[in-house]
Amino acid sequence: MVEHNDANTEGVASRVRITDKVLTSIGLGDLTPRRLESQMAEAEGRRPRRLSQAIRARLLAQSRTDVTDFFANCTEPLNSEIQTSPRLLRITQGPKKGMVLVTQSEGDQKTLLVTDVASAGRRIDHIDEGHRKEIEKLKKIEQSLAEMTGKIYQGDWEAIKSSGELLAMQAKIAEIVSSLKFTRNHQKREILRRVSLCVTFKDSKGKLNPGSRLAIWNTTQRFIAARIRDIASISGYLETDREIIDSQMKEEASRLNVFYSEVTGNANRLRIIDVNTHLDETVVVKITTNLRALIASCEEFTLEPYKSLAARIIAEITSIIEILNSSNCNEEPEREKAKQSFLKIYSMAKLLNVENELITLRNEWLPQGYAPERVYAKGFMDELKKIRAGFMDRSLIQAVHSKDLSPIYGETYKFLHTVIAMLGKNFGNGKTVQDRINAVKAVERMLKEFTVAKLLTKTHL
């Protein structure tokens, strides 16, 4: 286990608002008030009672010690070298082992989300995209208020009223109010409160008083600027979190690289897939020794969905070892079963290798803070073509794969073809810089969302 500061995780736990959902998410569902009441009722020989808010609060408070113990003993930072604050934690024990526990602020307290590492990455991307859109919206509001302020300061108020411009301004303000209607952020709620006062330019006595509205708008600008600064600060944390996610996914996706390379480079010498070659005891020992080494590699996976994929590979390896250790291991039906299991293992390793190559390519070409307009689209596309070519290599072992995995092979090829085509049709003659920017951004989003490991664990093999 990675060494970490228990005080840090306990500090997070102390700020977590304990709810039924939180307890269930981290695998402590038996501690929810309803479950506790059910257990007490059964022990006391009575029917479960209806829980009041006070009783629920008391029972939830009793769970805090267990939650604190869970953080201290069953979690660790996802990457202690990069991560200074435990926002991303790996669950190390219990039914949720291998999942990522994401802590996020909700006011002065923390809420929790338990998910796999790939979904945790997508969550970060969605939040970041939402923040970009929010900044655009806030800047448009800021610009609208500034334009209306200029018109009122510089224009003829009587002309503004008679031309219908006043009604247009009020409609614009009503539109701003509508866009902020369902906000939960305290700064945006303050912006909403202030702008709502300006839907009409009349004061409390019913008299037109644009000056009072201008004073409100001027102070509103401060809240808009404060919210944009906060988003910028949060975006910095998100970039670090995404870096952590990427490093962990790359580490997981590369764990079978040695096996994949050795099998690919020695395809013609693999006796396990040559069902017509007799395997003597010496060869069986050598093969099983190598297979047990592969099990050891699979046991190094620490995160979902990779751990589930590793469990499937281990199951296939175990079945091969059982066949090889049986008295009839050289009979054709048994050899064919061993061959198919080995091909399935190799096929999964090959697919995982593609994922590793795509993560590496994305990190090299589209690092944090990159400028889309400066990406050499053709060069990026050529690198993707190399990955596709390697994936579709027709050498002996490369050309074959388990029939069970055909749908995943098809989806992977379709994905590679799609991202290559996306770049190809958006550079060259007649294409603008914006075309290339849009294509690069679309490909970046697709690369972040594509996860072979998750596809494999969703498929019944």
Q: Where are the domains of the chain?
A: 6-115, 123-236, 254-458
Residue type, 257: N
Name 105's bridge partners. Answer: 110
What's residue 83's pLDDT?
55
CA distance 77 to 87: 8
Give DSSP secondary structure letters for 197-223.
Answer: TTSSSB-TTS-B-HHHHHHHHHHHHHH
What's residue 290's pLDDT?
92
Please count the helices (runs of H) and the strands (runs of E) in the chain.
19, 4
CA distance 371 to 362: 13
**Owner of token pair 């709502």:** 196
What's residue 81's pLDDT?
67
For the full predicted model, state whether its pTM sits above 0.75.
yes
CA distance 432 to 202: 49
How crowded is the C-beta side of 405, counted as CA atoms within 13 Å? 26
* CA 350 to centroid of chain Cα atoms: 23
Cβ–Cβ contacts within 10 Å for residue 259, how many?
21
| CB burial readout 401-419, b (16+ within 10 A) else e | bbeebeebbeebeebbeeb
What's residue 356's pLDDT?
93
First to last CA, the chain: 31
pLDDT tens string, the chain, 461 residues long: the values are: 334 445 566 666 666 778 888 888 888 888 888 888 888 888 888 888 888 888 888 888 888 888 888 888 888 888 766 655 567 889 999 889 999 988 766 555 567 789 999 999 998 888 888 888 888 888 888 888 888 777 777 766 677 767 777 778 878 888 888 888 777 777 888 888 888 877 777 666 767 777 777 778 778 888 888 888 888 888 888 888 888 999 999 999 999 999 988 888 776 678 888 888 898 999 999 999 999 999 999 999 999 999 999 999 999 999 999 999 999 989 989 999 998 899 889 888 999 999 999 999 999 999 888 898 888 888 999 999 999 998 887 665 555 556 677 888 889 999 999 999 998 888 777 788 888 889 999 999 999 999 888 887 775 55
CA distance 418 to 446: 9
Which of 460, 114, 136 has its CA nearest to residue 304? 114
SS3 state of residue 76: strand
What's residue 224's pLDDT?
85
Tokens of 202: 């009349």
